[in-house]
Structure 1
Amino acid sequence: MSEPGPESIPTSADPRSKRPTKRRAMTPHSEVASEIQTLFKDPSKDIQLPDTLKPRTVASLSAPPEIVTNVQGSSAGAGSGEFHVYKASRRREYERLRLMQSEVDSEKNNEAWQKEREEKKRKDDEKTEKNRRRREKKKNTRGKKGNGGQNDTTPMEVSAAPGSMVNMEDQNGAAVDGQVTQQEVPGVIFHEED
């Protein structure tokens, strides 16, 4: 049995060897790790990011030819080389037509979405206006009735959580135990404008 020594080291891993080490297939993880290491070697160097791809439109395609000479189909006298020319021109034309149709469809979808959005906004505004009128009407009827037959007392200010028990005093100074009810505090109402 041989003992571990310089003879048992593979030739490519031997530091005395002049042969290059074997390159193994990189895993995606090791590939990203090596890219990050190269970025950190020189942090002052600018990073070049690839440009974002612009969506293809009819304007980005080349225009169809104005004059087509020697028009032939994929058969009927066409040579073997003409078939590929015909297929390529047909593919370009179908791509152009498909892009034109997709632009028309997207415009229709945008118009329908805008119309639906405006309809929902109009309905929301109508409902908000109806509720506002109802609140004002309720407020006006409450103001006309007065206090509803109760004696005129000033409301007591209590700084406790709603629903908690506190000791309160009535108008005469007598102690009254009771629950704190939440009172509406007048505030500012913001109305969004278009």
Structure 2
Amino acid sequence: MSEPGPESLPTSADPRSKRPTKRRAVTPHSEHASEIKTLFKDPSKELRIPTAAKDRTVASLSAPPEIVTNVQGSSAGAGSGEFHVYKASRRREYERLRGMQDAIDKEKSDEQWEKEREEAKKKDEEKTDKNRRRREKKKAARGKQKNGNAGDDGMDIEGPAPGMKKNPNAPGVRSGEQTAGADAQQAEEVPGVIIHDDD
């Protein structure tokens, strides 16, 4: 066997060869890779992004003809060229009908969505009104209790229960504010275990 050398290389792979390389079938992956490669060759070049294709509507399609002069029929004498004319006119007509049907469907779905939106909005407003009335009712009842239950000692509903001593160190009591029971509580010693250190 001979040594592997430049002679054993295929002609297309030989760097000295002037023949163009064989073109392979382009896959979507390789096509995308080549596009990216060309973009990275000159990063300063401005990109041109194509605009999205517009949806075809009934208005964008050409109107059907008012008078049809050459009506295609199923006669045996029609030429072979008439078939393509017939297919094209049928495709245009079907596209026009499909566009009209799409417009009707879109209109119906928009109406349905608007109706559901209005119902949801109405339901939310009713719930909000109900909660507002309930809050106002609670607030009014609380206000009546405050005004109606104020006793001779000036204690209101918010104060401690009768027979309970108010804690001056509680978070609601301001410094310097003393009650009658607070002095007695400070004078009392809390019972417990006393530990003395023997030094």
- Residues 72-108 of structure 1, C-alpha deviations (whole Å, 9 max, x = no match): 4233754443343233323322221221122012112
User: Normalized against structure 1, the TM-score is what?
Assistant: 0.70
Give aligned-pair identity as a percent: 72
In the other structure, the counterpart of 2:157 is 148
* Contact 1:58–1:96, Cα closer than 8 Å, also in 2: yes
In the other structure, the counterpart of 1:164 is none
The alpha carbon displacement at 1:26 in A equals 4.0
* Contact 1:73–1:86, Cα closer than 8 Å, also in 2: no
- Residues 119-138 of structure 1, C-alpha deviations (whole Å, 9 max, x = no match): 11011111111011101111
* Contact 1:12–1:19, Cα closer than 8 Å, also in 2: yes
- Identify unmatched segments of 5+ residues in structure 2: 147-155, 173-177, 187-199
- Residues 149-174 of structure 1, C-alpha deviations (whole Å, 9 max, x = no match): 734979726xxxxxxxxxxxx97386
Structure 1 residues 43 and 123: alpha-carbon distance in aligned structure 2, compared to 1, 3 A threshold: same
In the other structure, the counterpart of 1:110 is 110
User: Normalized against structure 2, the TM-score is what?
Assistant: 0.68
Once residues 27 and 84 of structure 1 are traced to their aligned partners in structure 2, the CA distance between those partners, rounded to angstroms, is 33
Q: Which moved more, 1:122-131 or 1:75-84?
A: 75-84
In the other structure, the counterpart of 1:55 is 55
- Residues 16-66 of structure 1, C-alpha deviations (whole Å, 9 max, x = no match): 322233333344333222211211222222212112111111111111112
* Contact 1:12–1:22, Cα closer than 8 Å, also in 2: yes
- Identify unmatched segments of 5+ residues in structure 1: 158-169, 176-194
1:2 partner letter: S
Structure 1 or 2: larger strand share?
1
Once residues 20 and 72 of structure 1 are traced to their aligned partners in structure 2, the CA distance between those partners, rounded to angstroms, is 52
Q: Which has the larger radius of gyration?
A: 2
Question: Size of the alignment, in residue pairs?
Answer: 164
Once residues 3 and 47 of structure 2 are traced to their aligned partners in structure 1, the CA distance between those partners, rounded to angstroms, is 51
- Residue 66, structure 1, aligned to residue 66, structure 2: yes
Where has structure 1 moved over 4 Å in runs of 4 or more?
152-155
Q: Give the 5 Å matches for 1:163-178.
A: 172=182
In the other structure, the counterpart of 1:34 is 34
Once residues 121 and 67 of structure 2 are traced to their aligned partners in structure 1, the CA distance between those partners, rounded to angstroms, is 52
Once residues 116 and 26 of structure 2 are traced to their aligned partners in structure 1, the CA distance between those partners, rounded to angstroms, is 52
In the other structure, the counterpart of 1:125 is 125
In the other structure, the counterpart of 1:184 is none
